[in-house]
Chains A and B, each alone.
Chain A
């Protein structure tokens, strides 16, 4: 993974490692390794070979853990993380779609053959094989990867004087070091070492690990890149994982305009497809099974593999890790399954409806737990499906419950209109899995719920629940805690109040209009205030009295901005069906927009920027025009 400028002989042996090994923390393994894995290797280049060795835990004498590592090295062979052992060595083994590989490959070919380097940005969820693709391809193209790794100045185990001195030398800021790294990597070729191929003059600079500073001030990164682009001779590849929870660091670090300005090509990877993943998992498990001699590992069967596959949600690294994990003797899955079966036997003895219900729920959660225990990665639900789960509100079968509990209702007679069948989906879980804030999820629900209702009484109740939910989250001091309750009230309220559900049929779902409308409302209000400031009116009377009437008057002395604004806002076309509010259909796999778009005035710190931007420019126009007026006034 980390091919380093000078540590060639060691690094070449490491080249095969596919992903970060993740099982160093397991009991029985060496616990010292992770400490140094991401240590400061990139720039203290003289210290490199040494540290490299230490990292491998093979030769170094200075490492206190070396001896214990030596002893373990035999066992290590077995416990080597499978992600490393079975890392792909050719394009065929990559779990990435062919098209994507081709795309990256053609970019690499283009930019290594020309003398001028370019910048490539790879994005995609973690564990979809971005790094592996770059590594495999660069090996095939005969490129040397030079990678930036954030240096750390923390050296808890450095005992030797020599090392200390070196560290203190390299004790400049990460930012400066990054700049130097880019410069040097670009300018100088690597030193030829023994045992090195002749191909080393072509290289590729890889940055996967961004100095923290850039997250705070992406501007500095852009500045560096601009400088780099001017003198670049080697291709530079950035790899940014984007996460479903949507901090969108790629958009933050590489905004669209920068991408255009610097001519950055961007390729985004998709999560690994289940079939591809199955193939790889099967291959690995069969290889392992063949190798298995001591019999302490169980071979997972097809069902387990599938479960792993679905549990990992397209993250092949975590899938392989959990595969290895699940074949460990102690953690064997089968044991867990057996226990679960026993559980089920016990509970199934109960005949009571209530218990049956409980049992069902228990079973459900058990299944989920099972998946989680193996997969380790949270299963996530696309927004489209999550909304569907709430809005379609599938309920249990009537007969099923009826046979268990006789009358089918345990509610007293005056409450029996509240009686509902059991839900198939747990609303809270659905919201949680949609990776969305409850408030935002409610907006989506609100946008779409009306199409699923047929009765006005039901709508009345549902809308009241939504109103309740909004009220719960109104106070920003307690919002973070109340949000869960709010979403619970909204989802359950909607489901409960939908007594006569229109069944069947696909209905398109839409994105909420509210955010847009609200933003527009505020923008317009601000613009109104700044444009018509010289009328000295309070906002309300300005917006409800003056502007609409101004639209009806022919008042001559107004500038263009005011005229267009009045035409836009003061007038309303009465007959026309409102076309301003466009419905945006929610696509099936689309992640929702995560940002609440500066919606709450009170606590939103960054609120000013996006909304005030147009307003500022308009007021700027006003200022200039009014300046002329001032001159008239002073000359009087």
Chain B
């Protein structure tokens, strides 16, 4: 069925999965014919542990420079030395890499602070430019219950990035299986390269407890051949044992000035002139979220160039929509209004806005309309229903309950206010 040479080659490739470049190119994968090759190789090399026991692995090479022209990606720093802020931390990371011994890392910090960028820089420092040749792989993991879990991973020859929370409740299986596969294969030229590979797990705070405990065990077991870099927004949802096994690195948000600096440099590279006032406004409006700031800046560019100082910064549609919804709630408190609000909430949900974000945005907007002690009450209510949102099953019940509660409280507040004015 197969001539002997390609088969042997495939065998080698499978065993040293994710190791040196060039061998597991997507074209070679394709030439072997995806799924059928997996079956065939399994037949021929029964008893061997092959990657393809997981099923099909389809590779797609990421080609950053051709397909993407977003400023965020275009001007993303690629080495620790080129990072724009938190330079001291960058230097420490560099030292860490040079020292040789390299612990598991837990990188945390708010969204848009540059965690991922920092991690990629670190990987580059570790392995060189080869780490930037990324490919997306579609992997199928078979759970013990015979259920097939499909998950996308991003990999280079040296590292593997998994967002295991994509697998929902089955994330434990995904973590165990994928890390095992990576960890059980050795680097091929250990003389010139690091002895370990890196598994990058994103959104660790969204993993189930089950998966986190599984992770703890896996971390210990495969310490010799692989290092984990965990990436999350807050460590509060990461269990203690994991936190204590990792070197925690906090990446705080850049300061307003730092955001302004980045914006200005990017604009300069684009050949644009960004007025400092506008840069300040953008950085304020983005909440120092650098990704958002850059996107905003680029949207400003599309909207109007040359920039003017008092140009209004484009906001996302959903944020505007959410603010209007909040205004609707404040304007009138009646069941009919609530019905209208519900329709708008549904609309937001169908536009992929997660319920937690809706809740948060709604509260922020509503709080602007409250004063004094009402603020505490509303915040308390919001916390209460946000908690239920997490526990519960159907988000709309809780979002609506919060809205109704706010309406009732606000109405009472206004009526009391009116009464007080009468006297």
Contact = CB atoms under 8 A, between A and B. Distances in A.
Greatest chain A CB density within 10 A among B203, B319, B354 is at: B354
A450 B404 CA distance: 11
B67 A463 contact: no
A456 B357 contact: no
B388 A549 contact: no
A545 B292 contact: yes
B62 A450 contact: no
Interface string B103-132: 000000001100010000000000000000
A555 B70 contact: yes
A466 B347 contact: no
Contacts of B422: none
A540 B298 contact: no
Interface in A462-491: 462-464, 466-467, 469-471, 473-474
Interface in B61-93: 61-64, 66-70, 73
Contact of A570 (B169, B317, B403): B317
B46 interface: no
Contact of B152 (A463, A533, A549, A633): A533
A520 B343 CA distance: 14
Contacts, number: 232
A176 interface: no
B152 A453 contact: no
Interface string B296-339: 10110011000000000010111111001000000001111011
Contacts of A292: none
A626 B202 contact: no
B295 A546 contact: yes
Interface stretch (B10-18, B37-45, B371-379, B391-399): B391-399
Given A514-B394, A517-B350, A578-B346, A536 B161 contact: yes
Contacts of A540: 111, 354, 357
B338 A450 contact: yes
Nearest to A521: B349
A547 B295 contact: no
Given A520-B350, A534-B136, A630 B27 contact: yes
A456 B334 contact: yes
Interface residues of B, number: 86
B352 A528 contact: yes
Given A463-B400, A601-B168, A545 B295 contact: yes
B27 A631 contact: yes
Contacts of B134: 536
Contacts of A467: 385, 388, 392, 397-398, 401
Contacts of B112: 541, 545
Nearest to B300: A552
B298 A600 contact: no
B352 A557 contact: no
A623 interface: yes
A555 B385 CA distance: 39
Given A467-B385, A629-B67, A572 B397 contact: no
A446 interface: yes
Given A534-B68, A541-B111, A602-B168, A517 B295 contact: no
Interface in A534-582: 534-536, 538-541, 543-557, 569-572, 574, 577-578, 580-581
Contact of B58 (A525, A574, A623): A623
A189 interface: no
Contacts of A471: 388, 391-392
A130 B203 CA distance: 58
B213 to A, nearest CB: 18
Secondary structure dominating the interface of A: helix
Contacts of A534: 60, 62, 64, 67-68, 136
Contacts of A455: 335
A553 B66 contact: no
B330 to A, nearest CB: 13
A459 interface: yes
Nearest to A458: B335
Nearest to A572: B317
Nearest to B389: A467
Contacts of A525: 352
Contacts of B224: none
A161 interface: no
Contacts of A451: 335, 339
Contacts of B318: 544, 548, 572
A453 B335 contact: yes
A470 B392 contact: yes
Contacts of B152: 529-530, 533
A458 to B, nearest CB: 8
B397 A446 contact: yes
A521 B291 contact: no
A73 interface: no
B204 to A, nearest CB: 11
Contacts of B348: 572
A529 B166 contact: yes
A462 B400 CA distance: 10
A275 interface: no
A489 B221 CA distance: 49
Nearest to B406: A460
B357 A574 contact: no
B321 A626 contact: no
Interface in B194-222: 202-203
B352 A630 contact: no
Nearest to A607: B168
A613 interface: no
Contacts of A580: 346-347, 350
Contacts of A533: 136, 152
Nearest to A635: B27
A58 interface: no
A544 B349 CA distance: 11
B369 interface: no
B317 A474 contact: no
B344 interface: yes
Given A456-B333, A524-B350, A446 B396 contact: yes
Nearest to A612: B150
Greatest chain B CB density within 10 A among A466, A467, A599, A623 is at: A467
B68 A535 contact: yes
Interface string A513-529: 11001101100110011
A42 to B, nearest CB: 36
A621 interface: no
Contacts of A555: 68-70
Nearest to A549: B295
A73 B70 CA distance: 91
B154 interface: yes
Interface string B93-108: 0000000000000000
Nearest to B314: A552
Contacts of A474: 391-393
A578 B344 contact: yes
A632 interface: yes
Contacts of B354: 539-540, 543-544
A514 B396 contact: yes
A457 interface: yes
A473 B404 contact: no
A574 B318 CA distance: 9
B8 interface: no
B351 interface: yes
A564 to B, nearest CB: 14
B202 A459 contact: no
26 contacts: A443-B394, A454-B335, A459-B338, A460-B407, A462-B404, A474-B393, A517-B349, A517-B396, A534-B60, A536-B134, A538-B203, A539-B163, A540-B357, A543-B354, A545-B289, A548-B316, A548-B318, A549-B314, A552-B303, A570-B351, A572-B318, A572-B320, A572-B321, A578-B346, A581-B350, A619-B138
Top 4 nearest A-B pairs (CB, nearest first) are A548-B316, A460-B408, A549-B295, A572-B317
Given A471-B391, A630-B30, 12 more contacts: A463-B397, A466-B397, A466-B401, A540-B354, A545-B112, A545-B289, A557-B67, A572-B320, A599-B394, A602-B169, A629-B60, A630-B26
